[in-house]
Structure 1
Amino acid sequence: MSPQAAPARSRHVLCMKWGSKYGPEYVNRLYAMVRRQLTGDFRFICLTDDSRAIRSEVQCLPIPALALPAGIPERGWTKLVTFSADLHGLQGTALFLDLDLVITGSLDAFFTHPGAFLIIHDYKRPWRITGNSSVYRFELGAHSDVLEHFRAHCAAIRARFRNEQAYLSDFLHQQGQLQYWPAAWCPSFKYHGIPPWPTNYWRPPCIPPAARIVIFHGECNPPDALAGRRNRRWRYIRPAPWVAQHWRE
């Protein structure tokens, strides 16, 4: 059975692409990485406003409207639509993945690890409850109150929380449903993959031990890491050739 033809109530891998920041190659490579690292049947879905040049194995669906009052910007909150009560009629378990990550190990346990809602724990301030929403798993339709509450109180929520992942983490924590992936599974390229100064000048970035998904946030994305580029002055990195081994179609 092909990934796209998987039963409606099954495993779904979700991603989201809107605007021009990421091209179709990010979706295509993400699908290829998932296909190599996830055994069995699944459906790969991209919520997008532009399906051009996305490979045929990916099912492209429109991004549901966030439906905020007029004049309130949606930027930074769009992922909350994945918690719609009815997301295009899909049922089952969904694993959401950001486009700018590199899958380096098996994804099978991301669908079997116990927990109602799982997310990456914040890297920089681990004493906080905040999660990093680059990778999260949930039952489709099970947390529609996350979106409904945001729509009803969006002004107050935006004033209190910096972005969707901070709000999402707090909301599910208050319900006792927030849980985190094992720390080694989803390390940060920035914090765990780049050698400390001054060894970063002669040692290339590495894949952290036991990593399954390497998260790129803040300074580099996969092609930057592959080329040895960093967008912060005086923060040198050598090229990371292992990126090419995994981030490919």
Structure 2
Amino acid sequence: MVKQVICINWGTKYGPRFINRLYAMVARNITPPFTFTCFTDNTAGIRPEVLTEPLPEIPVEIPKTKKGIWPKARLWGPKLGSLSGNVLFLDLDLVITGSLDDLFTYGDPDGVVLSRNPAKPFERLGQTSCFRFPVGKLLPLQEKFCENPAAIAAEYVFEQRFVTRNAPGGITLFPRGWVRHFRYQCLPTFPLNLFIAPRLPRDTRVVIFPGGVHPEVAIRGGWVGREGWSLAEHLRGIDARTPKESIWRYLRHYTRPSAWVAEAWRE
């Protein structure tokens, strides 16, 4: 069986630096044969081992919302470039720290398998930063989304909630320890985050970085907009925080540098 890994890139937020690192991490943590396909609107700078295909077409304008990110709806069509069968989708800003092989064989081969979302512990919510699905399986979701994209985005807020609640046949979740959320499951809680570096839990295969904190922040320490700040700089910056940010929120938004992220997130 050829393991098929996919990602999607649009605009200028990520680009080849993230795509190339993601490919390298996959190649180090997967048993061949495999393919790595990036659906993108710009192929400049992408390493030759990466297969590139145009962004899949969708007959509606993708809504731009403050919270949800909906362009992944392009992947839900009846076809997905030249691919068929099962694909494992990976966000560009995640870190691979263990073997991906089991993510291709876990659960029903015709099922939709999502990562667990620890940000909503009282809601059985999947996370699509890392998920597996058969090409064409999610077509009913795309059809429903295209009927009224703005209304769907307003009702569900997050694309992963829409997938969780509407995937044909329901969803399965990967085992809890395989995919970890950096902020919720690796970063020590306040005040320990000020003194202890984030840890990598045992048997973790993938670490996801929702919420704006991406691998470069984890490597340098500090926080978004304060990358590389020492603890002393962080504490001195309390008075300069934005008016909307409470002292509590400011203090817990700090991480010491993560050496294991630097080791994994490289070409």
TM-score, normalized by the shorter chain, greater than 0.5? yes
The match for 2:204 is: 211
TM-superposed deviation, 1:88: 1.4
**Residues 20/62 of structure 1: CA separation in 2 closer, same or farther (3 Å cut):** same
- 8 Å contact from structure 1 (residues 205, 238) kept in 2: yes
Match of 2:264, as an amino acid? Answer: H
Report the aligned-residue RMSD: 1.7
TM-superposed deviation, 1:125: 1.7
- 8 Å contact from structure 1 (residues 229, 237) kept in 2: yes
The match for 2:250 is: 233
1:14-33 alignment runs, 5 A limit = 14-33=6-25
Aligned residues: 237
Match of 1:82, as an amino acid? Answer: L
- 8 Å contact from structure 1 (residues 195, 203) kept in 2: yes
- 8 Å contact from structure 2 (residues 18, 92) kept in 1: yes
* 2:81 is the counterpart of 1:73: no
TM-superposed deviation, 1:216: 0.9
The match for 1:4 is: none
TM-superposed deviation, 1:42: 1.1
- 8 Å contact from structure 2 (residues 164, 170) kept in 1: no
* 2:44 is the counterpart of 1:52: yes
**Aligned counterpart in structure 2 of residue 185 of structure 1, from 156, 162, 178:** 178
TM-superposition CA deviations, 1:29-56 (whole Å, max 9, x none): 1000000101011110001111110000
**Structure of higher CA gyration radius:** 2
The match for 2:243 is: none
Gaps of 5+ in 1: 1-8
- 8 Å contact from structure 2 (residues 179, 204) kept in 1: yes
The match for 1:143 is: 138
Alpha-carbon separation, structure 2, partners of 1:23 and 1:141: 26
TM-superposition CA deviations, 1:70-106 (whole Å, max 9, x none): xx63562110121210111311210000000000000
* 2:93 is the counterpart of 1:100: yes
* 2:158 is the counterpart of 1:163: yes
More off after superposition, 85-94 vs 155-164? 155-164
- 8 Å contact from structure 1 (residues 133, 165) kept in 2: yes
SS class of match (2:107)? coil
Could you tell me the TM-score, scaled by structure 1's length? 0.89
Alpha-carbon separation, structure 2, partners of 1:64 and 1:132: 21
Gaps of 5+ in 2: 225-248
**Aligned counterpart in structure 2 of residue 120 of structure 1, from 106, 115, 119:** 115
**Residues 23/154 of structure 1: CA separation in 2 closer, same or farther (3 Å cut):** closer
Alpha-carbon separation, structure 1, partners of 2:63 and 2:191: 42
Could you tell me the TM-score, scaled by structure 2's length? 0.83
The match for 1:6 is: none
Alpha-carbon separation, structure 1, partners of 2:147 and 2:3: 30
Alpha-carbon separation, structure 2, partners of 1:219 and 1:44: 25
The match for 2:265 is: 247
TM-superposed deviation, 1:229: 2.3
Alpha-carbon separation, structure 2, partners of 1:120 and 1:195: 21
